[in-house]
Amino acid sequence: MSSRIRLSYILLGLGIGILLTNFIYYIRPNVEYRDLSDDEIIEKAKDLGMVFVKDTIQIDKYNEENIDETIKEKEEDYIDEFKEEEEKDYVAEPKEEILFKIEEGQNLKTIATNLYNIGLIDDTNSFISFCKEKNITTLFRVGTYKLTKGMDYETLIKILTKRSTN
C-alpha cells in the first residue's frame, strides 16, 4: 500500500473513533448534577478565597463636615505648592548651536549618521524612515547649517533642504 492510502485509512479511523466516543457520551453522560443551597455555595466560595464586598470595604466614620475640611486642607496645600513653584526663578538654558555641514555626494544614510554622531537625532533609522515617508530623500542641499539640539525631524528637514547659511 502506498503511504497516501495508509494516511487516509488512519484519518478515517480517527474520525470514526471520535464519532463513536461522542455517541457513547451522548447516550450515557458521566455528569453528576447536584443542587446546592445558598449557604453551601457561599461556603465553597469562601474556600476558594472569595469574599463579600462589604467584608473588604472599611466604611469611614467621617461625616460631610470632616470630608469638606480634608478637601479644603488639600486644596490649600496644593495652592501653596503652586505658589512656591511660581516664585522660583526659572532660567532657560540657552540651546547649544551646532554647525552641520553637508558635502557634495553625501547620501541620506551618511547625513543621518552624521546627525546622529553629533547628537542632533536619536536614531538614524527613524530619521531615514521619516525622510522616506516625506519623499525628500534626495532634496538635501550642500552647505553649512546652524542647528540646535532637540529639534524635531520636521524642523531639521526644513532647514537642511533650504539654501546654506554660508
Question: Is residue 2 predicted with pLDDT exceeding 80?
Answer: no
Is 153 or 18 the better-scoring residue by pLDDT?
Answer: 18
Give the model confidence (pLDDT) of 115-130 as tens digits. 899 888 888 899 899 8
Report domain extents, the chain: 97-160
Overall average pLDDT of the 73-85 stretch = 68
Q: Which residues, 6 or more positions from 151, have their beta carbon under 8 angstroms from its beta carbon?
A: 120, 159
Query: 55 — alpha (psi -120 to 50), left (phi > 0) or beta?
Result: alpha
Residue 48: predicted pLDDT = 86
Whether residue 1 is predicted with pLDDT greater than 70 in this model: the reply is: no
pLDDT band at 62 (very low <50, low <70, confident <90, very high): very low
Mean pLDDT for the chain overall: 79
**Average of per-residue pLDDT across 36-56:** 80
φ/ψ (deg, to 5) at 99: -85, 130
pLDDT on residue 93: 57
pLDDT at res. 141: 87
Answer for the pair 88, 81: CB distance below 8 angstroms, yes or no.
Answer: no
Q: Domain 97-160, what fold?
A: Dna Ligase; domain 1 (3.30.1490)
Question: Is the pLDDT score of 33 beyond 50?
Answer: yes
Nearest by Cα to 146 from 131, 130, 163, 133: 163
Residue 4: CA count within 13 A, CB half-sphere:
0
The per-residue pLDDT for 32 is 77
Q: Where are the alpha helices (DSSP H) in 28-161?
A: 38-47, 53-56, 64-87, 108-117, 124-134, 153-160
